[in-house]
Structure formats: C-alpha cells, structure tokens
Amino acid sequence: MKRRVVITGMGAITPVGHDLKQTWQSLINGVSGIDKITHFDSSNLPVQIAAEIKNYKAEDYFDAKEARKLDIYTQYAMIAAREAVKDAGLEAGNFDPNRTGVITGAGIGGILTFEEECVKCHTAGPRRISPFFIPKMIGNIAAAHISIEHNLKGINFNVMSACASANHALGTALRSIQYGDADIIVSGGTEAAVTPLAVGGFTSMRALSTRNDDPQTASRPFDKERDGFVMSEGAAFLVLEELNHALARGAKIYAELKGYGASGDAFHITAPVEDGEGSARALSMAIQDAGLKPEDIDYINAHGTSTPLNDKGETRSLKTCFGERAYQIKINSTKSMVGHMLGAAAAIEAIACAKSIETGIIHPTINLVNPDPDCDLDYTVGTAIKQEVNAAISNSLGFGGHNSAIVITRYKG
C-alpha cells in the first residue's frame, strides 16, 4: 500500500504578489503582472516586456553579506520555502530532520550570476571570477540553501526538465514519501531568468510575445491573436507530508496530492507533438495513478503558454485524454497573469489547484478575447467563478518533449 500524501503548507513570491495571500488575491481578481522590463535595458531587443517581481529588495529578506552569496533565483526559492515551512507549522521543530527533505525544480538556475561572471572573465580575465560563481550558479543550490536554513537532512536534490521541472519535482517528492524515503518534503520550483541573455535567447527562438505596446494583454493563452509567451520569474513551494504524520502533529491539510504521470514526446527539441499524444499519456497516467477516472476531474490548470503550437496541441491532448468530457471541465491558465515562470511555473499552478479546492474559486484566464477555433474548450474566460472542486490536474510541458501532470484532490479522511 502506497502511503497517502497531503499538502500542509504553501508559499510563493510572484509577479502579482510577494506572498501567497497577495498572489492568490491577484489571480482571482484577474490582475496581470506583466509590464516593461526594468531589470535591464531592453530597448535594443524586439521583446521589451516581462513579468518581474515588483519592488523587490533583497535586504528585506537577507542581510547584505548573505545576499551577495545568493543568486536571485535562490533568494526567491528561500523566500517562498520560508512561507511554506511557516504555513505548515514546521518552525516548532515537531519533525525528524533526517526524514524531511527538499526537492526543487529549476529550468535554468543562476543565469544572472552566469552572465555577470562571463562578462568579468572576458573583460578582466579569469582570475577575477568570483569564488562564489559556481555555488551561486548551479541549479541544485536552492535546494541546498533551503535545507541548510531549516535543518532538513533528508532527501535533497534538484530536478531540471525545462518548464516541466516543478511538476517532476512534486511528482518525485510524492513517490519518495509514498514509498517511505521521507515523511515530509518541501518541494516546488524557482526561476529568475529575466536577464539579457535569457530574454535574448528566447527572442532569437521567436518564442516570446512582442506585444510591447500593451504588456498586460501580451499573455493571451488560447486566443487567436497569441504571439508567444511572456518571460517571468519567482518561486512557489509546497510542504508535502505523509498523512498520518500530518494528523499526528495536528497540521492543517489543504488537499491531497494523489497522482503523478510523466512521458516523453520523442519528437522535437522545442515543438510539441501536434496531436498532443505525449501529454495525453501523462494525463492518463496521473489520473490512473490517483485511482480516478477522467469523469472525476473537475478542473485543469493548463500549461497554457500563449504560444501558437502549445495551446493548440494541449487542447488536442485534453480531448484525447478526456473525450467529450473535456468540454465539461473548467480549464484556466495562470500564465495569462503571471507569465511563464519556467521551472517554477508548475509549482504556482499546483498551488492554484490546491487553493481552488480549498476556496471553491477557480481563477480566470484573462486576455482571451478572440478564441482560436482550434481551442474550443471552457477556459474560464474573464472572471473567476465559484465552483466546488474535488479533483484537479496541473498539466506542464517542457522543451525537449517533457510532459508531466499531477492530480490534487480534496482530502477525505
């Protein structure tokens, strides 16, 4: 018998809020976090918009000496993880550190540090490279800092599968607890890639929206006039805990993480399979793993990137998996408001699923004004709705054909 796993804590820092409460309020109110890029001068780029963390000051969260040793992607991770740990009531130390782990997701990692040190290397010579370059830049270091700060000595590593990273991290954490490798795992995703190199790279791929004159409408998933995704940044973390362990310490239970499915397209380095077959398999695997049937699913938080190929392919994958039932399921895209947080995207979307189960509110997909005829499902357009949600899916896809889906359900004793 696999052990049951519940969500007992959540935290986030996003372009629409510095904590989970503010982020969730913004999402249900349809607030966009997209605007002109301020992190660097983008005037010489075709893309001049992004979803940045607003008014962020490292000194509000870290002392100056510590902040200098942390890439901003690690800072975001630590802030979101702190909130999740506090929310779960773990600050009291009522857990075994050796049975408590950290599994993070990051699609890129410390790219700002990488850029800065590369410039330094080529202008001043390699002897001027910071001794903190490697430990600031590597993709696993956020997991290390979270474990050090909270004395979490269990399983500890990072998953890197592009924009599917956080779902793979959450799914791996689920398995680790189910099969007894840990009792608690702090898991989620983090990213801080609104930098010249990253934005320039995605621009060269023609993956980003160029709707510079109207940033807040640039991310428009499933809309006929969508022209690319919007770069974003931030972090979101959940505390996953074995059910009996959570009950024994009197933890609040938001929802149950019930199923996980993952697949590969084996098709193309960036484009999804046109018929969405790979994603449909991951969705079906997650539903089966949860012990559910397609008709049990009430709500799907779609990958919904606002790119021409993804939205069409994802819609087809949902129809393949659910058949006619797909037309009866409420679907939305968190990215319509927060942009694409890359390796952190699936984590904030998993939180949206848990919050919808908790509150009975499904946030809207904004900017869907002219529906694409090929995207003809119910995307919860314009305004939030009240609806009881008993079972939700968070669906995520990554460059390289990486598909991942998780099922979150209402906790029933």
Summarize pLDDT for 376-394 with one digit per residue, the tens.
999 999 999 999 999 999 9
Catalytic position from the list 145, 163, 245, 321: 163
Q: 127, exposed or middle or buried, with CB in 10 Å at 0-12, 13-18, 19+?
A: exposed
Catalytic position from the list 303, 353, 375, 402: 303
What stretches of 125-231 show up as alpha helix (H) in DSSP? 133-137, 141-150, 165-178, 196-204
340 is catalytic: yes
Place 366 in a pLDDT band, splitting at 50, 70 and 90: very high
What pLDDT score was predicted for residue 274? Answer: 78
Give the residue carrying structure tokens 């592009």: 162
What's the pTM? 0.97
Can you tell me the distance from the alpha carbon of 352 to that of 259, in angstroms, rounded to the nearest whole number? 16
Collapsing DSSP states into helix, strand and coil, what is residue 272?
coil
163 is catalytic: yes
Can you tell me the distance from the alpha carbon of 331 to that of 300, in angstroms, rounded to the nearest whole number? 5
What pLDDT score was predicted for residue 94? Answer: 84
Catalytic position from the list 168, 340, 363, 402: 340
Summarize pLDDT for 126-178 with one digit per residue, the tens.
999 999 999 999 999 999 999 999 999 999 999 999 999 999 999 999 999 99
Measured CA angle at 224 (ends 219, 108), to 5 deg: 35
Domains of the chain: residue spans and CATH: 1-401 (3.40.47.10)
303 is catalytic: yes
Mean of pLDDT values over 330-338: 98
Summarize pLDDT for 338-364 with one digit per residue, the tens.
999 999 999 999 999 999 999 999 999
Mean of pLDDT values over 311-316: 96
Work out the percent of the chain whose per-residue pLDDT is above 90: 96
